[in-house]
């Protein structure tokens, strides 16, 4: 009983410290909500919120969701990322990659804030190159996360979670070391695709991101077969 109380107290203290260290992220979330409240009267009834890879609008939201949808989603995502370590059966491993996890948490909030800014400025009539900014943002996201991928330790929520990485810590680590390099390379290719600004550039971006997702899955399977099945 005493152990459970101490563990709960430790979790609460860690949670409070995380909130204090994330003060800038909390300000960004608050500012996005404040911005939504401020611009709401000036937005059109239908706000463009989704674009095709060719840059054409193919999705709209109501004025309310255009103003508050992404800020609410960002707040929800941030809260989810805070609570995941508390419910993960391997929550102790989060302490081993706390710095990387904070970077990932920060990147996602900043990325969502950037996307929201683009959507609002476009809705207010500013000429914003939405396609380029989005492609560039996604590419940078892959690059930065790729730099920290090798630090992520085995868990059930963050990283390349396949049956084979979850079954073997060795396979997990090898897969994430390789994935980090692939994600960084995919980010560079994505940036190149953004600069090309032609259909070939979009194809390059899609191909790079597909490779970054598919190769780690295949590698984890092959590595597991090599290091575990043969031993049996």
Q: What is the pLDDT along the chain (232 residues), one digit of tens a residue?
A: 544 444 445 556 666 788 888 899 999 999 999 999 999 999 999 998 887 766 678 788 999 999 999 999 999 999 999 999 999 999 999 999 999 999 999 999 999 999 999 999 999 989 888 888 888 999 999 999 999 999 999 999 999 999 999 999 999 999 999 999 999 999 999 898 888 867 787 888 889 989 999 999 999 999 999 887 655 4
Q: For 31, how many CA atoms within 13 A lie in the half-sphere containing its CB?
A: 13
* Co-location of 6 and 74 in the same domain: yes
Answer with the one of 101, 128, 155 that is the final residue of a domain.
128
Phi, psi (rounded to 5 degrees) for 51: -125, 145
175 and 67 assigned to the same domain:
no
What is the extent of the structural domain holding 135? Answer: 129-232
pTM reported for the whole predicted model: 0.86
What pairing do the DSSP bridges indicate for beta strands 57-62 and 46-51? antiparallel
CA separation, residue 83 to residues 18, 43, 86, 112, 126 (Å) = 11, 34, 5, 19, 38
CA dihedral (81, 194, 201, 122) positive or negative? positive
What tokens does 50 get?
């989704």
Instruction: Choose the final residue of a domain: 91, 109, 128.
Output: 128
Last residue of a domain, one of 89, 113, 128: 128
Least Cα distance to 214 among 202, 206, 225, 226 occurs for 206
Ranges assigned E (strand) in the chain: 46-51, 57-62
- Together in a domain, 11 and 75: yes
Rounded (to 5) percent helix, strand, coil in the chain = 80, 5, 15
Q: Structural domain tally of the chain? A: 2
């Amino acid at each position: 009983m005493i152990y459970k109380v101490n563990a709960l107290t430790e979790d609460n203290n860690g949670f409070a410290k995380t909130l204090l260290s994330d003060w800038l992220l909390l300000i960004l979330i608050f500012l996005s909500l404040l911005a939504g409240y401020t611009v709401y009267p000036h937005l059109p009834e239908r706000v463009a919120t989704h674009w095709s890879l060719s840059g054409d609008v193919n999705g709209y939201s109501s004025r309310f969701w255009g103003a508050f949808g992404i800020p609410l989603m960002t707040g929800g995502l941030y809260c989810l990322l805070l609570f995941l370590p508390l419910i993960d059966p391997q929550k102790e491993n989060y302490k081993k990659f706390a710095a990387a996890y904070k970077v990932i948490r920060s990147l996602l909030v900043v990325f969502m804030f950037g996307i929201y800014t683009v959507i609002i400025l476009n809705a207010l009539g500013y000429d914003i190159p939405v396609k380029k900014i989005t492609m560039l943002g996604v590419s940078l996201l892959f690059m930065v996360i790729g730099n920290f991928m090798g630090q992520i330790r085995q868990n059930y929520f963050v990283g390349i979670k396949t049956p084979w990485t979850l079954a073997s810590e060795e396979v997990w680590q090898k897969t994430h070391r390789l994935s980090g390099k692939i994600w960084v390379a995919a980010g560079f290719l994505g940036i190149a695709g953004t600069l090309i600004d032609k259909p070939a550039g979009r194809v390059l971006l899609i191909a790079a991101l597909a490779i970054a997702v598919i190769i780690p899955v295949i590698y984890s399977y092959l590595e597991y077969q090599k290091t575990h099945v043969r031993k049996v």
